[in-house]
Amino acid sequence: MSAPIRYYYDLMSQPSRALFIIFRLSNMPFEDCVVALRNGEHLAEDFKKEINRFQRVPCIHDNGYKLAESVAILRYLSAKGKIPEHLYPKYFVDQSRVDEFLEWQHTSLRVTCAMYFRTVWLEPLLTGRTPSEAKIESFRMHMERNLDVVEEVWLEGKDFLTGSALTVADIFAACEIEQTRMADYDVRIKYPKIRAWLKRVRQSCNPYYDVAHEFVYKISGTGPQAKL
């Protein structure tokens, strides 16, 4: 019997949270290898040589095989039969719909939510400099263009992003959107479909969803059921 994979992650990282939730929902054993991004552990030369040449999380080691990038990890483990089909379908038509969202979000929702978070919360924390209102507004506008697409296109007539049931697409997206809480952005105010959808995703993924987002809730001062 092979050893469980070694999972290198930090729950400060959106895709790290997504895979953490997916692994737990899949009842997939893994060895916890927490990497403290805030301490720069991923920037050490030993990390680059021994763990991930790209010096990022998440990544896995599977009996000597090293793999980075969250979606690549997802597909690899699905091919090995570790991810249940209701989360990541094997039937090519259903799988392609999930893949369509994963490919779309990486250069749209993920990028713009992450940049808003970095501009408003992370960079001021690291540099001590407050961004201009114009800069904040610019990143907010770009982010909301993609939130508009989630609200008006992906959630049009559906409970979840790709249909009537939760898939990994919903988990990846929710983790990206939740990150904006720490930048004092409450997506629920402007987007009623996203608000209801986030509630469904959380209910479908708990208790693991709240475990993964504990730090986000703490920093933002907004619990999962905080009122508007």
Angle at 60 between CA 58 and CA 63, to 5 degrees: 175
* 70 and 146 both lie in a single domain: no
Helices (H), ranges, 91-132: 92-106, 109-117, 123-127
Q: pLDDT tens for residues 198-214?
A: 999 999 999 999 999 99
Neighbouring CB atoms inside 10 A of 127's CB total 9
Of 87, 90, 100, the closest CA to residue 23 belongs to 87
Chain center to CA of 182:
14
What's the confidence (pLDDT) of residue 162? 98
* 96 and 143 both lie in a single domain: yes
Of 225, 159, 166, the closest CA to residue 25 belongs to 166
What's the confidence (pLDDT) of residue 1? 63
What's the confidence (pLDDT) of residue 39? 87
* 100 and 72 both lie in a single domain: no
Both structure tokens of 163: 């249909």
Q: Which residue among 79, 104, 139 closes a domain?
A: 79
Gap between the Cα atoms of 113 and 140, Å rounded: 8
**Residue numbers in the chain where pLDDT is lower than 70:** 1, 224-228
What's the confidence (pLDDT) of residue 228? 47
Neighbouring CB atoms inside 10 A of 14's CB total 23
Angle at 26 between CA 23 and CA 30, to 5 degrees: 45
For 35, the 3-state DSSP assignment is: coil
What's the confidence (pLDDT) of residue 225? 62
Residue 18 lies in a domain: yes
Helix crossing, 109-117 with 92-106: angle to 10°?
30
What's the confidence (pLDDT) of residue 126? 83
Task: Quote the domain boundaries for residue 61.
Answer: 5-79
* pTM for the whole structure: 0.95
Count of domains for the chain: 2
